[in-house]
Amino acid sequence: HGGHWGYEDQAAWSSEFSHCSGKSQSPIDIDTRRALYDRSLPPITLEGYDLTDSLALTLLNNGHTLQLVLPNTMRITSGFDNEFRAAQLHFHWGTKEVPGSEHTIDNVHFPAEIHMVHYNSKYANLSEAASKSDGLAVLGGFIGIGLHENDNYEKILSALADVSIEESNTEIPAFNVRHLLPNKLERFYRYNGSLTTPPCFQTVNWTMFNDTITVSRRQLAALEDTLKAGQHQHLTKNFRAPQLLHGRHVLASFT
Ligand code: 1SD
Ligand code: ZN
ipTM confidence: 0.94
Say if residues 46 and 76 touch (Cβ distance below 8 Å).
yes
Return the residue whose CA atom lies nearest to atom 4 of ligand 1.
197
Tens-of-pLDDT digits for all 255 residues of the chain?
A: 457 899 999 999 999 999 999 999 999 999 999 999 999 999 999 999 999 999 999 999 999 999 999 999 999 999 999 999 999 999 999 999 999 999 999 999 999 999 999 999 999 999 999 999 999 999 999 999 999 999 999 999 999 999 999 999 999 999 999 999 999 999 999 999 999 999 999 999 999 999 999 999 999 999 999 999 988 899 999 999 999 999 999 999 999
Distance 197 CA to ligand 1 centre (A): 6
How many of the other CB atoms lie within 10 Å of CB of 55? 12
User: Which atom of ligand 1 lies at the shortest distance from residue 130's CA?
Assistant: 9
Q: How many Å apart are CA 155 and CA 159, to the nearest integer?
A: 7
15/32 Cα distance (integer angstroms) = 33
The three-state (H, E, C) secondary structure of 148-207, written as one string: CCCHHHHHHHCCHHHHCCCCCEEEEECCEHHHHCCCCCCCEEEEEECCCCCCCCCCEEEE
Q: In this structure, which residue's CA is closest to atom 10 in ligand 1? A: 195
In 3D space, the residue among 123, 147, 105 whose CA is nearest the CA of residue 242 turns out to be 105
Cβ distance 66 to 163 under 8 Å? Answer: yes
Task: For the chain, give percent helix, strand, coil, nearest 5.
Answer: 15, 30, 50
Does this model's pTM top 0.95?
yes
Active-site residue flag, 64? yes
**C-alpha 138 – ligand 2 centre gap (Å):** 8
Residue 169, pLDDT score:
98
Find the distance separating the first CA and the last CA of the chain, reported in whole Å.
Answer: 42
The bridge status of strand 104-105 relative to strand 29-30 is: parallel
Q: CA quadruple 23, 24, 25, 31: dihedral positive or negative?
A: positive
Q: Starting from the CA of residue 88, give the closest ligand.
A: 1
Residue 194 CA to residue 203 CA, distance in Å, equals: 6
Q: State how far the Cα of 144 lies from the Cα of 67, in Å rounded to an integer.
A: 19
Q: Cβ–Cβ contacts within 10 Å for residue 247, how many?
A: 7
CA of 236 relative to ligand 2 center, distance in Å: 13
Of 4, 19, 64, 246, the active-site residue reads: 64
Q: Please report the atom of ligand 1 found closest to the CA of residue 26.
A: 13
